[in-house]
Amino acid sequence: MNTYTYSIEQIYKAKHKKHEQYVLTRILHRLNRFDVQFITQQHVTTGTKRSLTDIYFPAIGLHIEVDEPYHLKQTKKDAERQADIVNATGHEFYRVPVIEDIFAFNTEIDKCVAYIEQKLQLAGPIPKWEFDDILNVKNKIRDGYIYAQDDVCLRKVVDITALFGYNYKGLQKGGKEHPTERDTEIWWPMLINHSDWENSISTDEQYIYEKKRDGTQEDFNVHLNKTVNLTKRTKRIVFAKSKNSLGFDLYRFKGVYVLDQAASNVEVGLCWHKISDKAKVTISA
């Protein structure tokens, strides 16, 4: 996927939000910088909450919020939400008020464009990017590790196992033992809409719950015994299957989790607790 296709798909995502789409297209045409990635409807996790921001420029950590008239009735709520995101990410916000006078509205958008240009100038050279570069994991390996905060995404299961030295052409399993760490499994769960499992992740992504759909106490005991006593793989490097900003299925690195036996039971299933946001890989950058 090239930059043009990525851009029009991102614009299309805002098709049901007329004010946001107008602001976005004017910013893009006035800015005229398609070397700068932008994301619409950006997900942001803050503690136990998840939020969406209207437009996000990752290169400068800037979120653009389009304030439609109803925002005037929830200024306190908006301020609290913005503060949560700023505190959690260190990112910055720029708010564009919707004004019925088209000329005044354009003036507000152009002020935003000027601010973006200023931020880009201060940021220095922006690395060239294409959508496919986002999936080039080699660009995200640092000191032999991958990091959850770098949004490491892969297209296929075999791309995941290749990070750890395997050379498969196809693999149908839901996980694979680590080649050198005997207590560790490389795991790529589907966290929603699975026919056999009700796997889920907490909002702050600190816990993953692995539960067999309609599982009994006996099912739980068997699964726990297999994990603890048979395979003895009580640590997992997790790549969760999820959709990216354009709706494509990708495997996103979440971190390293360890089995919390005390918090595991038949009601929630096996409870996996995050212990690290990084994992050592075999291939080099």
**237-251 pLDDT, tens per residue?**
999 987 655 556 789
241 CB-near residues (< 8 Å, 6+ apart): 188, 189, 190, 191, 249, 250, 251
Distance in angstroms (rounded) separating the CA atoms of residues 188 and 170: 14
Distance in angstroms (rounded) separating the CA atoms of residues 19 and 102: 11
Q: With a cut of 70, which residues of the chain have pLDDT below it?
A: 1, 43, 45-50, 70-89, 128-136, 192-195, 243-248, 284-285
What is the per-residue pLDDT for 95?
92
Q: How many CA atoms lie within 13 A of 147 on its CB side?
A: 8
pTM of structure: 0.62
What is the per-residue pLDDT for 235?
97
Widest CA span in the chain: 70
Distance in angstroms (rounded) separating the CA atoms of residues 159 and 144: 16
Q: One-letter amino acid identity for 282?
A: T
To the nearest 10 degrees (0 to 180), the angle between helices 18-31 and 102-123 is 50
